[in-house]
Amino acid sequence: MLERVKGAHPLESLAPILNASAVGAMQDQIRKVFVHEDVKHYLLRIVHATRESPKLLLGASPRASIGLYRVCQALAALAGRSYVSPDDVKQCAVPVLCHRMIIKPEVRLRRESPATILEDLLSHQEVPTAWGQSGKQS
Protein backbone atom coordinates (compact mmCIF):
# COMPACT_ATOMS: atom_id res chain seq x y z
CA MET A 1 0.00 0.00 0.00
CA LEU A 2 2.81 2.39 0.84
CA GLU A 3 4.51 1.69 -2.48
CA ARG A 4 1.31 2.59 -4.36
CA VAL A 5 1.11 6.05 -2.77
CA LYS A 6 4.79 7.00 -2.73
CA GLY A 7 4.64 8.65 -6.16
CA ALA A 8 1.18 10.23 -6.08
CA HIS A 9 -1.74 10.24 -3.72
CA PRO A 10 -4.88 8.48 -5.05
CA LEU A 11 -6.97 11.59 -4.34
CA GLU A 12 -4.96 13.50 -6.94
CA SER A 13 -6.44 11.34 -9.70
CA LEU A 14 -10.06 11.78 -8.65
CA ALA A 15 -12.35 13.29 -11.24
CA PRO A 16 -15.88 14.62 -10.69
CA ILE A 17 -18.72 12.32 -11.68
CA LEU A 18 -21.43 15.02 -11.48
CA ASN A 19 -21.56 18.69 -12.26
CA ALA A 20 -23.74 21.34 -10.60
CA SER A 21 -26.46 21.12 -13.25
CA ALA A 22 -26.73 17.34 -12.80
CA VAL A 23 -27.12 17.76 -9.05
CA GLY A 24 -29.78 20.43 -9.64
CA ALA A 25 -31.64 18.12 -12.01
CA MET A 26 -31.58 15.34 -9.41
CA GLN A 27 -32.95 17.72 -6.79
CA ASP A 28 -35.74 18.75 -9.17
CA GLN A 29 -36.64 15.08 -9.72
CA ILE A 30 -36.78 14.44 -5.97
CA ARG A 31 -39.16 17.38 -5.50
CA LYS A 32 -41.52 15.73 -8.00
CA VAL A 33 -41.93 12.57 -5.88
CA PHE A 34 -45.60 12.37 -4.93
CA VAL A 35 -46.65 12.59 -1.27
CA HIS A 36 -50.28 11.65 -0.62
CA GLU A 37 -52.23 13.94 1.72
CA ASP A 38 -52.64 11.11 4.25
CA VAL A 39 -48.87 10.57 4.31
CA LYS A 40 -48.29 14.32 4.73
CA HIS A 41 -50.69 14.38 7.68
CA TYR A 42 -48.95 11.34 9.17
CA LEU A 43 -45.57 13.08 8.91
CA LEU A 44 -46.97 16.26 10.49
CA ARG A 45 -48.63 14.30 13.33
CA ILE A 46 -45.27 12.75 14.19
CA VAL A 47 -43.53 16.13 14.26
CA HIS A 48 -46.37 17.67 16.27
CA ALA A 49 -46.22 14.81 18.77
CA THR A 50 -42.62 15.79 19.58
CA ARG A 51 -43.85 19.27 20.51
CA GLU A 52 -46.51 17.80 22.81
CA SER A 53 -44.29 15.23 24.51
CA PRO A 54 -43.88 15.76 28.26
CA LYS A 55 -40.41 14.22 27.97
CA LEU A 56 -39.05 16.98 25.75
CA LEU A 57 -38.10 20.56 26.47
CA LEU A 58 -38.14 21.28 22.76
CA GLY A 59 -39.75 19.27 19.99
CA ALA A 60 -39.04 19.29 16.27
CA SER A 61 -39.52 22.59 14.43
CA PRO A 62 -41.39 23.41 11.23
CA ARG A 63 -38.01 23.25 9.46
CA ALA A 64 -37.68 19.69 10.77
CA SER A 65 -40.99 18.88 9.05
CA ILE A 66 -39.61 20.19 5.77
CA GLY A 67 -36.38 18.25 6.24
CA LEU A 68 -38.26 15.02 6.96
CA TYR A 69 -40.51 15.59 3.95
CA ARG A 70 -37.55 16.09 1.59
CA VAL A 71 -35.59 13.11 2.97
CA CYS A 72 -38.65 10.89 2.50
CA GLN A 73 -38.95 12.04 -1.10
CA ALA A 74 -35.26 11.31 -1.67
CA LEU A 75 -35.53 7.85 -0.09
CA ALA A 76 -38.50 7.00 -2.31
CA ALA A 77 -36.63 8.21 -5.40
CA LEU A 78 -33.57 6.16 -4.47
CA ALA A 79 -35.84 3.13 -4.13
CA GLY A 80 -37.10 3.79 -7.67
CA ARG A 81 -40.57 4.88 -6.58
CA SER A 82 -42.52 7.96 -7.64
CA TYR A 83 -44.35 8.18 -4.29
CA VAL A 84 -43.53 8.36 -0.56
CA SER A 85 -44.87 5.57 1.63
CA PRO A 86 -45.63 5.67 5.35
CA ASP A 87 -42.71 3.26 5.77
CA ASP A 88 -40.41 5.93 4.29
CA VAL A 89 -41.61 8.32 6.97
CA LYS A 90 -41.06 5.72 9.71
CA GLN A 91 -37.58 4.90 8.40
CA CYS A 92 -36.50 8.54 8.18
CA ALA A 93 -38.14 10.00 11.29
CA VAL A 94 -35.55 8.93 13.87
CA PRO A 95 -32.38 9.91 11.98
CA VAL A 96 -33.89 13.19 10.74
CA LEU A 97 -35.64 14.36 13.91
CA CYS A 98 -33.55 13.07 16.85
CA HIS A 99 -30.92 15.79 16.79
CA ARG A 100 -33.66 18.44 16.56
CA MET A 101 -35.20 17.60 19.94
CA ILE A 102 -34.06 18.55 23.45
CA ILE A 103 -34.79 16.06 26.22
CA LYS A 104 -35.67 17.13 29.73
CA PRO A 105 -32.76 16.51 32.13
CA GLU A 106 -34.74 14.14 34.36
CA VAL A 107 -35.64 12.05 31.31
CA ARG A 108 -32.00 11.89 30.26
CA LEU A 109 -31.12 10.67 33.79
CA ARG A 110 -33.52 7.77 33.23
CA ARG A 111 -31.30 6.93 30.23
CA GLU A 112 -33.96 7.70 27.65
CA SER A 113 -32.66 8.98 24.33
CA PRO A 114 -34.25 11.06 21.60
CA ALA A 115 -34.44 7.87 19.52
CA THR A 116 -36.37 5.88 22.16
CA ILE A 117 -38.75 8.80 22.76
CA LEU A 118 -39.34 9.19 19.04
CA GLU A 119 -39.84 5.45 18.52
CA ASP A 120 -42.46 5.52 21.26
CA LEU A 121 -44.19 8.50 19.63
CA LEU A 122 -44.12 6.67 16.28
CA SER A 123 -45.73 3.60 17.81
CA HIS A 124 -48.72 5.70 18.91
CA GLN A 125 -49.42 7.29 15.53
CA GLU A 126 -52.04 5.83 13.23
CA VAL A 127 -50.35 4.78 9.99
CA PRO A 128 -52.21 5.55 6.75
CA THR A 129 -53.04 2.34 4.90
CA ALA A 130 -55.59 3.10 2.16
CA TRP A 131 -53.39 4.32 -0.67
CA GLY A 132 -51.81 2.49 -3.58
CA GLN A 133 -48.44 2.44 -5.29
CA SER A 134 -49.58 5.11 -7.71
CA GLY A 135 -49.81 7.39 -4.70
CA LYS A 136 -53.53 7.75 -5.23
CA GLN A 137 -56.18 6.80 -2.71
CA SER A 138 -57.43 3.26 -3.34
Provide CB contacts within 8 A for 3, sequence distance 6+. Answer: none
Query: How many percent of the chain have pLDDT more than 90?
Result: 81
- The more confident residue out of 135 and 81 is 81
Which range, of 14-18, 38-42, 87-91, 129-133, averages the lowest pLDDT? 129-133
Q: What is the pLDDT of residues 68-109, one digit of tens each?
A: 999 999 999 999 999 999 999 999 999 999 999 999 999 999
∠ CA 101-64-105 to the nearest 5 degrees? 5
Q: Give the span between the Cα atoms of 132 and 107, in whole angstroms.
A: 40
* H or E stretch at 102: strand 102-103
Q: Give the span between the Cα atoms of 89 and 109, in whole angstroms.
A: 29
What mean pLDDT value characterizes the chain?
Answer: 90
What domains lie within the chain, and their CATH numbers?
A: 34-123 (1.10.8.80)
In the prediction, which pLDDT does 18 show? 92
In the prediction, which pLDDT does 136 show? 44
Q: Predicted confidence band at 130 (pLDDT cuts at 50, 70, 90)?
A: low
Q: Predicted confidence band at 9 (pLDDT cuts at 50, 70, 90)?
A: confident
pLDDT of residue 114 exceeding 90 = yes
